[in-house]
Amino acid sequence: MIKNTHRFLIAIALLPFICLAQLYNKEVQASINLKVQNNNTLQIVGSAHNKTKINQSLRYVLSVIKSDKNNTANKNKNDQEGRFVLSPSDKTNLSNITININEKDRTIILLLIYDEEDKILGKDRKVLKGLAVEMNTDLNKIQSSYTEDVKEDTSDTDGFVMRGMVIQDTKTKAGSDFYNMYYTMYLSKSIDGDEIVKITEELAIGMNTQIKVQVANEVVAQFILNPRNQYLKDMADFSIYRTIGYFERKIQNKGQIIRY
């Protein structure tokens, strides 16, 4: 009886998150299309479809994260992003990426589409787990088998478990340098958080810009940008410290809920 009560309480607690997850791709549909070009090359095309009757001013980030199955900490991440406007009922291709396929790789492809307020409207995610067949197999069989091996991760309520994701919206070289330093530290410490980390660069006082490091809906670090290399390293180290603290608190809070 106690176990059933606990399950009921957990289900009630999860309802808001399930309802929120169902809102994605309602107004703007994000889609990832895959095409095998030859035995070891995959073409990735991200596209968007405006399902509404109004113009949509949007921004997209298409990310490809590759990691060796035997060493998930060794990740290679490639981002393509841009801004665009979609007319009512319009469809358009956003970005085109070509990658080499290795049977030892695990590849995650993620497309996020944001509105003008940086709210996620559409998202799509594919997970590729190496080559499904031998390299000398006929190309049509490779295409068929690879399509079967592209799976949606359904372990989360909306099918998207975005572990280890760090995205950026920077405007200057210094901002991009900070992002690269932060992400290198993020990987080296194997943080692999289950919330998206977002690094944005915004206008501040005068001609200055500021960096904001946000995990989910919480700003963990914010500072005026200075292009000096040592300053950027110090701020990246501080931001990583705050990021780790965020995920540690989250784990502690989950533990408290379970004990309760």
Q: Tell me the CA distances in angstroms from 117 to 57, 101, 120, 121, one per residue in order.
A: 10, 36, 9, 10
Q: 43 and 138: one domain?
A: yes
- 53 and 152 belong to one structural domain: yes
Least confident piece of the model among 29-38, 48-57, 211-220, 237-246: 29-38
The structure tokens listed for 253 are 């809070």
Q: Which residue has the higher pLDDT, 258 or 194?
A: 194
Contact assessment for residue 46 and residue 93, using Cβ atoms and an 8 Å cutoff: yes
**Predicted confidence band of residue 222 (pLDDT cuts 50, 70, 90):** very high
Same domain, 121 and 67: yes
The CATH number of the domain holding residue 34 is 2.60.40.2420
CA–CA separation, 185 and 171 (whole Å): 21
- 3 occurs within a structural domain: no
- Strand, coil or helix: 181: helix
Place of tokens 């760090």: 166
Last residue of a domain, one of 120, 141, 160: 160
240: confidence class by pLDDT, cuts 50, 70, 90? very high
28 with 135, same domain: the answer is yes
Q: Which residues pair with 197 in a beta bridge?
A: 166, 215
The CATH number of residue 203's host domain is: 3.30.160
- Does residue 12 fall inside a structural domain? no
Query: What does each C-alpha distance from 63 to 2, 36, 46, 58 come to in angstroms?
Result: 44, 18, 10, 17
CB of 214 within 8 A of CB of 200?
Answer: yes
User: Which whole number is the average pLDDT over 5-14?
Assistant: 46
Q: Is position 29 within any domain?
A: yes
Domains held by the chain: number: 2
Residues 182 and 55 in one domain: no
Indicate if 53 and 142 belong to the same structural domain: yes
Q: What is the pLDDT of residues 20-44, one digit of tens each?
A: 444 788 999 999 888 776 667 888 8
Looking at the structure, tell me whether residues 182 and 125 fall in a common domain: no
Q: What is the mean pLDDT of residues 190-209?
A: 86
How far, in Å, CA of 226 to CA of 20, rounded? Answer: 38
167 and 237 part of one domain? yes
Is residue 13, in this structure, part of any structural domain at all?
A: no
What would the pLDDT profile of 31-84 be if each residue is shown by its tens digit?
A: 988 877 666 788 888 999 999 999 999 999 998 888 766 555 557 788 898 999
110 found inside a domain: yes
User: For residue 220, what are the contacts with CB-CB under 8 A and spacing of at least 6?
Assistant: 213, 214, 239, 242, 243, 245, 246
Residue of 234, 66, 65 whose CA lies nearest to 166: 65
Domain boundary among 144, 160, 176: 160
Check pLDDT > 70 for residue 196.
yes
* Residue 6 falls inside a structural domain: no
Owning domain of residue 220: 163-260
Residues 195, 68 within the same domain: no
Identity of the amino acid at 158: D
What is the pLDDT at residue 136? 32
pLDDT at 70: 59
Strand ranges (DSSP E) for the chain?
28-38, 41-50, 56-68, 71-86, 91-100, 105-114, 120-129, 150-151, 166-169, 197-203, 209-215, 218-224
Residue at a domain's end among 113, 138, 160: 160
pTM of the full predicted structure? 0.52
User: What mean pLDDT comes out for the span 98-105?
Assistant: 79
Instruction: Answer yes or no: is 16 within a domain.
Output: no
For residues 95 and 170, state if they share a domain. no
Max Cα separation, the chain?
63
